[in-house]
């Protein structure tokens, strides 16, 4: 089945540690996105990538980093510089022009202790 996978679903880390969240898609989509969601809030864009080896900052990129070495993978690293990293993280992707639908993964809930 085609889709987007994120793992793990729940992740716990100690304060001051970097942590990398994985996002993999087998939909052959070129564009991928990372969002953050806090309780009772909408989604906010962290980073997005149009093609391999290229990515752009979203609205809240500070304290995060990404890479796009492969078309199907777009990992997000939450660094120790992110002041409030505990949140629900969602990865999404979509195809090129003509397909406006954005597909979302199931999300990773990160808790920093």
Partner 1 sequence: DAKTTQPPSMDCAEGRAANLPCNHSTISGNEYVYWYRQIHSQGPQYIIHGLKNNETNEMASLIITEDRKSSTLILPHATLRDTAVYYCIVRVAVPGYSSASKIIFGSGTRLSIRP
- Residues making contact with partner 1 (CB under 8 A): 4, 30-31, 33, 35, 40-45, 48, 50, 56, 58, 88, 90, 92, 94, 96-97, 100-107, 109
Q: Pairing mode, if any, of strands 108-112 and 10-13? A: parallel
Residues 6+ apart with CB under 8 A from 39: none
Q: Which is nearer to partner 1, 38 or 62 (CB)?
A: 38
- Residue 1 near residue 101 (C-beta atoms within 8 A): no
> 45 or 63: whose CB is closer to partner 1?
45
CB 61 within 8 A of CB 81: no
Q: C-beta of 77: minimal distance to partner 1 in Å?
A: 20
Task: Tell the smallest beta-carbon distance from residue 80 to partner 1 (Å).
Answer: 26
């Amino acid at each position: 089945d085609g889709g987007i996978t994120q793992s793990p679903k729940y992740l716990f880390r100690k304060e001051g540690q970097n942590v990398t969240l994985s996002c993999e898609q087998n939909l052959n989509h070129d564009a991928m996105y990372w969002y953050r969601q806090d309780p009772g809030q909408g989604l906010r864009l962290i980073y997005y990538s149009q093609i391999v080896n290229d990515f752009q900052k979203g609205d809240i990129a500070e304290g995060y980093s990404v890479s796009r070495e492969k078309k199907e993978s777009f990992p997000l690293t939450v660094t120790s510089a992110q002041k409030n990293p505990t949140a629900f993280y969602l990865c999404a992707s979509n195809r090129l022009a003509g397909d406006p639908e954005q597909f979302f993964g199931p999300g990773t809930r990160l808790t920093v202790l």
